Structure 1
Amino acid sequence: MSLTTLRRVAQCGLTRNIVPSTSSGLACPIRHASTAEQIKKRLYDSSVLRLPMPTRDVETLNRRLQFRLNDRNIVGIVRLWTTAIENGVRPNAVSYDTMLKVIASYGLFDLTVKIFEDMLKMKVGDKQQGLNYVLESAAADPSLEAKAFKMFEEHGCSWNEITYQHILEALARRENVEMAVQVLSEMFEKGITPNVQSIQTVICLAAQMGMPQFAMEMAIKAERFPGVNTDQVRMAVLMSGAETMNANVVQKAWDYIRRTRCPPTEPLCVEILNTAARHGLPELARSVLEYLQESSQEIQEHHLAAVIGSYAVAGQIRDAYLALDLFKDHRVKFLPESVSGLVEVIDRSSETLDNAWDVLTQLPRPVNIEAVNTTIEAATNLSDMQRAIGIYKELPDLEVSPDAQTFDILLGGCLSISHAELGERLYQDMLSNQIRPTLQTYSRLILLALTQETYESAFSRLEEIKGRNMIPPQRVYEALVQRCVEEGDPRAELALEDMEICGYRVSTGLRDYLLKSQKKQDTANEAMAWVKSVSS
């Protein structure tokens, strides 16, 4: 009922005393004041509001410590411990062990020592285990470790396998492989069998520090200790081997990982593929490619390039050529760099080029144009333009048509021998085959023109590039500027202005060249002035 309604009722004299009805079954009992303890008890017993009861016995303390230990709740643990002590709870061995375990894991040395000393005063708990917790809390700090070792002496405790475990973990933090191996050997000499964690620590440390062969040898020796060679340890060895391109380690570790179905990441697979390409291991490369497909990962250019490279380095040129079809199979865009490994193998000598050509002619028809382009590029790298043109003329027999990359490679070969006439003929062939010139085509035609005595065609090609809404590369502009400066051509300044419009900055090499040319010009001007003064 609103305040306005109440006022109206009062004005009309309709108000009456309201008394509790005794006839209704819903009559509420009279509530009397409760003591603080009664209120607190009702709150604790409420099914709606659950407040934690104070910790008044050691069993409750241990249960709550374990709960917070599982949650890694360091603040809650310290608060619970302090409150329980204030409430008169006397911790037992389990309480101290749980408390020391979590405090030590956070590297709280002073607090760990304090709790350990309190445990000794209470005459409960394991002194040896407590000292191990103190050592763990030193967190690889040499000064704190020295204090912990001194405490071992003061309490007359020797080192056990847990002590050595913490020592090895500290050495791993400091990345001291040599000392870690020495400590592990010392354990065997003293008749102390290292636990699983200690051996794993040394293996993973060696792997982390780029010693995959040593890590793998340790893992093999540790096979007599059950539980050491976990998937995590094997993966650490594999990652180390792939990072250092250790073929022996990578092959063995990869076989194990594939058997256990432990999923390696895509970046790790790339490193393994690079290892396969470096050492010529096509079976390893194909296995990694199969895994990428099985795990539904997108196949990319660098994956396939490594597969082709592995065949090439292994000397399996035919398989390398055939592997080029993988780009079409996986719908991956082919890049000229994709066959760099194959080109490096073919262009080693004329003999390797001849062998590659023989393999190429025996491939099923039609031959992949990328295989042909690769062979032509190898020939141009050897400056064997006669062989390159010969391969180009054999395209009809190979039942394949040239593409823009074919002509760009051939123009690059013409540029290497400054053969402008051949370059122009190839350009006309390109147009007659209705192949659209690329930016690289025009760039190489310009650079080729600049090698000739007359270089006017370079400027016309430059205008063609602009007419096709392409941006000329910086190297083309710089070559134009240098040639114009050499010839005293004023168009050098126009070329520099064009560079600026395109957003290019003058490179260090061009700047040094221009400064050197200016000094030469100044010297020439001074010499001419001196000659004129002497003559007069």
Structure 2
Amino acid sequence: MNRLVLAKVLTSPLRQGGAKQWTSKVRFNSTVASESTSVEKPVKKMVKYMHPTAPLSSFNAALTSQLRTRGAPKRVLENVLKIVQEIKRQNLRMDLNSYNALLSAYGRAKETRSVMSTFEEMKQNDIEPTQDTYNILLESFIGSADVRGQTRVKNEMKEKKIPLTSQSYYYILHCLCRADELEYALDTLDEMKQTGVQPNLHSYAIMIGGCLRLCDSETAFDLLKEAESSGLAVESSPRVYMDVMRVGATNDKLDIVSYCWDKAVGKYSLRPDEGTCLNVLRVAAKMGDAKLATDVIRQLSTSGYPYKEHYFTPLMEAFTVKNDLKNAFNVLDIMRVSGIPPSMRATLPIRKHLDRDVEAIDQAYYLLEEMRKEGKTVDISAFNVVVGACADAKDVERTIATYREASNLGVVPNVDTYNAVLEACIQTRMKDMGVVVVDEMKKAGINPNLDTYSKMISLACTQRSYEDAFTYLEEMKSYDIVPPESCYARLANKLAYEKDPRFHMVLEEMETFGYKVTPRIRRMWNTESTF
């Protein structure tokens, strides 16, 4: 409890039994008067709530002061209860203001039972609840999402013919949305409009928040458009557009996402977080909206996020959805210029688009030739994805032929190029060609990487004579490279198929490197493995 407030109450002139004599000097009309002045004028004080001659008014002022503080709700409640105890100690009768303050304190502290017991006590003491009182009750049920309790209060208001205000309905809608009762909330919104109460922007915003939790994008967008058509100042709370955009992105609704992006980011300059941007990028990629994808990438840069490979991959996918491979290839060059060298993983949207379609692969190659004739730079990643697509089609001749055209396209093969050719050799079990590729790789001064060794082991395992697999395995370890688990699994499968006792040695080495040897791998020895 505020000790100063109580001290003033307990030492007030009314407690002392009479008016206090003015013995000190008082200033008025810029003149100082002494005690001998015949007429003394008291200093005027501002009167709040009730007349200062009523002792309860000072307590009510103290209660109001406590409710205005920004302290923790529990602490505020403790202070309010101390003031209420002092009111009762002095045998004063609490009035409407006192009870409303106490109800508010209980409500903020989420003590719903105490709210209702205090409300019953209030009525027993013949204090008639007002519209403000009922609004306090309605608000108190939001924290616990107690729809039934709110409904009882609402019905009592109707029985006593106390009209529900826009604030009353806001509390009801808030509680319903917290309880995920969206259908009931929509019915309440209709009821609100039928009774002539205009929903405010806060009501629409809380409803849209409920739609976001339930992933109902259509309803959220309808509510947003209704708020706009009602003449509400939606621009004063542009975060509403951001919420609708998020739920629209969750449901892959491009029209909703595009509309809200233009409003939130384009018009009101909001800065969505990285997660929201990536979700919007995903929708733009899936629906083939390259413009939206470009806008999102630009916004990520504006918001201070450094360029990353997975920002550009959706843009590439958006172009492939529209069958615009030329611009998809251009994205690879843009990435490199932006300081993000594309990896083979980045080209997956293009590779997936080609998907073993020989005609599509040839068209992709012709596009590279066209870009070269136009004087544009053919990115090595664009070339590699075409070579890789040939390998996916298990067409080793087309793979080799494309690989041999590197110089004509102005590109210099890198390790990914050779690995793509090796993949074609694995698909067709052409070990001799694989050896030629590795020799050319070494002559070009390109060091093999982990993927190269893994592919050479896999290629060796496709042959009846597979001793080279152990050679490549030991060569990897000589460079302090721990062979990946997939290499051991591939080799174990081959050894089990050939009933080679070195199978057990490979399992031991797997465990040495911390790989888990599953029961399925152990059963290979006793099972007719297929290679």
- Give TM-score, length-normalised by structure 1: 0.80
What percentage of aligned pairs have identical amino acids? 26
Alignment of 1:347-366 (within 5 A): 347=355, 349-363=357-371, 364-366=375-377
Q: Match of 2:218?
A: 213
Q: Match of 1:342?
A: 350
Deviation string, structure 1 residues 226-281 (Cα, Å, up to 9, x no partner): 14562221111111122333211111111111111112111111111122211111
User: Structure 2 counterpart of 1:100, which letter?
Assistant: L
**1:302–1:349 Cα change, 3 Å:** same
Alignment of 1:50-89 (within 5 A): 57-58=58-59, 60-61=61-62, 63-68=64-69, 72=73, 73-87=76-90
Tell me if the contact between 2:239 and 2:264 (Cα under 8 Å) persists in the aligned partners: no
Tell me if the contact between 2:63 and 2:80 (Cα under 8 Å) persists in the aligned partners: no
Which stretch has the larger CA shift, 406-415 or 235-244? 235-244
Match of 1:134 among 129, 134, 137: 137
**1:79–1:264 Cα change, 3 Å:** farther
Deviation string, structure 1 residues 153-174 (Cα, Å, up to 9, x no partner): 6645454444433332222112
Tell me if the contact between 2:103 and 2:136 (Cα under 8 Å) persists in the aligned partners: yes
- Alpha-carbon distance in structure 1 between the residues aligned to 2:92 and 2:330: 78
Q: Match of 1:164?
A: 169
User: Structure 2 counterpart of 1:421, which letter?
Assistant: D
Q: Match of 1:144?
A: 149
Alignment of 1:516-535 (within 5 A): 516=527
- Alpha-carbon distance in structure 2 between the residues aligned to 1:488 and 1:346: 40
Deviation string, structure 1 residues 153-200 (Cα, Å, up to 9, x no partner): 664545444443333222211212222222222333343333333222
SS for the counterpart of 1:427 is helix
Tell me if the contact between 2:290 and 2:319 (Cα under 8 Å) persists in the aligned partners: yes
- Alpha-carbon distance in structure 1 between the residues aligned to 2:282 and 2:129: 53
**Are 2:232 and 1:226 aligned?**
yes
- Alpha-carbon distance in structure 1 between the residues aligned to 2:419 and 2:108: 64
- Alpha-carbon distance in structure 1 between the residues aligned to 2:207 and 2:248: 16
- Alpha-carbon distance in structure 2 between the residues aligned to 1:443 and 1:450: 11
**1:410–1:74 Cα change, 3 Å:** farther
**Are 2:242 and 1:235 aligned?**
yes
Tell me if the contact between 1:68 and 1:76 (Cα under 8 Å) persists in the aligned partners: no
**Are 2:334 and 1:326 aligned?**
yes
**Are 2:203 and 1:194 aligned?**
no
Which stretch has the larger CA shift, 151-160 or 216-225? 151-160
**1:123–1:234 Cα change, 3 Å:** farther
- Alpha-carbon distance in structure 2 between the residues aligned to 1:316 and 1:103: 63
Q: Match of 1:421?
A: 432
- Alpha-carbon distance in structure 2 between the residues aligned to 1:158 and 1:508: 72
**1:134–1:515 Cα change, 3 Å:** farther
Q: Match of 1:487?
A: 498
- Alpha-carbon distance in structure 1 between the residues aligned to 2:112 and 2:271: 39
**Are 2:299 and 1:291 aligned?**
yes
Number of corresponding residues: 469
Q: Match of 1:175?
A: 180
**1:476–1:156 Cα change, 3 Å:** same
Deviation string, structure 1 residues 140-161 (Cα, Å, up to 9, x no partner): 2255345435644664545444
Unaligned runs of 5+ in 1: 1-35, 38-53, 519-536
Tell me if the contact between 1:365 and 1:398 (Cα under 8 Å) persists in the aligned partners: no
Deviation string, structure 1 residues 446-495 (Cα, Å, up to 9, x no partner): 11111112112111111211222211121221222222222222211221
**Are 2:279 and 1:274 aligned?**
no
User: Structure 1 counterpart of 2:170, which letter?
Assistant: Q
Tell me if the contact between 1:445 and 1:461 (Cα under 8 Å) persists in the aligned partners: yes
Tell me if the contact between 1:286 and 1:307 (Cα under 8 Å) persists in the aligned partners: yes
Tell me if the contact between 2:497 and 2:525 (Cα under 8 Å) persists in the aligned partners: no
- Alpha-carbon distance in structure 2 between the residues aligned to 1:444 and 1:504: 20
- Alpha-carbon distance in structure 2 between the residues aligned to 1:109 and 1:428: 79
Q: Match of 2:512?
A: 501
Deviation string, structure 1 residues 405-435 (Cα, Å, up to 9, x no partner): 1111111121112121221111111111111
Tell me if the contact between 1:199 and 1:228 (Cα under 8 Å) persists in the aligned partners: no
User: Structure 1 counterpart of 2:412, which letter?
Assistant: S
Structure 1 residue 308, shift from structure 2 partner? 2.1
Match of 1:311 among 313, 319, 330: 319
- Alpha-carbon distance in structure 2 between the residues aligned to 1:508 and 1:275: 41
- Alpha-carbon distance in structure 2 between the residues aligned to 1:340 and 1:155: 68
- Alpha-carbon distance in structure 2 between the residues aligned to 1:515 and 1:453: 20
User: Structure 1 counterpart of 2:226, which letter?
Assistant: K
Q: Match of 1:375?
A: 386
**1:446–1:245 Cα change, 3 Å:** same
**Are 2:441 and 1:395 aligned?**
no
User: Structure 1 counterpart of 2:347, which letter?
Assistant: V
**1:114–1:227 Cα change, 3 Å:** farther
Q: Match of 2:21?
A: none
Tell me if the contact between 1:311 and 1:320 (Cα under 8 Å) persists in the aligned partners: yes
**1:220–1:147 Cα change, 3 Å:** closer
Tell me if the contact between 2:499 and 2:525 (Cα under 8 Å) persists in the aligned partners: no
**1:273–1:153 Cα change, 3 Å:** closer
**1:101–1:500 Cα change, 3 Å:** same
Tell me if the contact between 2:147 and 2:176 (Cα under 8 Å) persists in the aligned partners: no
Structure 1 residue 97, shift from structure 2 partner? 4.0
- Give TM-score, length-normalised by structure 2: 0.80
- Alpha-carbon distance in structure 1 between the residues aligned to 2:332 and 2:429: 32
